[in-house]
Amino acid sequence: MHTTFRYSIAALLFVLVASGAQAEEKWRKLFNGKDLEGWTPKIRHHESGENFKNTFRVEDGVLKVGYDEYEKFDARFGHLFFDEEFSNYKLRVEYRIVGEQLEGGAGWATKNSGIMIHGQKPETMAKDQQFPVSIEVQLLSGLGRGPRPTANLCTPGTHVEMNGKLHTDHCTSSKSPTFDDEWVKVELEVRGSDTIKHYVNGKLVLEYSKPQYDPKDATAKQFVEERKGNFLIDKGTISIQSESHPVEFRKIEILELDEE
């Protein structure tokens, strides 16, 4: 092989590797593995910023949602919000469901948590509001009987479009397999008010478009009025859920994307 040609190939490979490394460097850790810096809790019946009974904590490099200090759940649905809003991005999360559900939790909340995207800010939530107006990526674990996919879609105060039609079902199952209390990688590709895709362990399991406010929801209606009739949601907060069953997160990171 000609020496110049060999060097050209080597240079090209170096550029490709370097480009890949630069792209990888754009990923940003939202959870730093040490503490809750950059995150704000909002738990039902409590003010924004109050981490009731140490619901959200970091132990051994893992962000944990736990109820050790609770006596019973009492419908204290909680969310831990990152302190910025995002529009176009990829989000990578690794989670697992652990332990036993807290007494008083709803049956549907067994082995159930979620990631909320395109959400309202915690300070805009009413003190007794259960869930932020948002798009929920529902995180589940198997119950030991029948299929129970994860990375599903739920829509508190919102709707989406599927196959070009308005989709108003509150929860919609993905095509993922069932996982039993193991670490699962969920990746989201969010394109503003256009498309949202859910991936589980690298495989596409759900896709929809045009996230929008539900005009029948009182809180969502306020946002539509503020936006002068614009129903589409093009950005919002990211938060993780507390719904009465312990869950752990060992990775939450984001790659912001250019608008297409």
Q: Which of 210, 163, 153, 159 is nearest to 186 (CA)?
A: 153
Residue owning tokens 């003190």: 127
pLDDT-derived band at 24, boundaries 50, 70, 90: low
Per-residue model confidence as pLDDT tens digits over 152-183:
999 999 999 999 999 999 999 999 999 999 99
pLDDT-derived band at 15, boundaries 50, 70, 90: very low
**pLDDT given at position 259:** 82
Q: Which of 211, 86, 65, 64 is nearest to 136 (CA)?
A: 211
- Token pair listed for 161: 């479009």
- As a whole number of angstroms, the distance between CA 50 and CA 47 comes to 6
Q: For 130, which DSSP code?
A: -
The amino acid at 129? Q
Q: Is the pLDDT of residue 8 over 70?
A: no
- Express as a percent the part of the chain with pLDDT over 70: 90
Q: How would CATH label the architecture of 29-256?
A: Sandwich (2.60)
Cα angle, residue 23 at apex, residues 18 and 25 outer, rounded to 5°: 95
Per-residue model confidence as pLDDT tens digits over 126-157:
999 999 999 999 999 999 999 999 999 999 99
Residue owning tokens 């893992």: 62
Residue owning tokens 């990829």: 90
Q: Where are the domains of the chain?
A: 29-256
Find all residues with CB under 8 Å of 192, minimum gap 6, and list them.
Answer: 87, 88, 234, 235, 259
- Token pair listed for 228: 């002068």
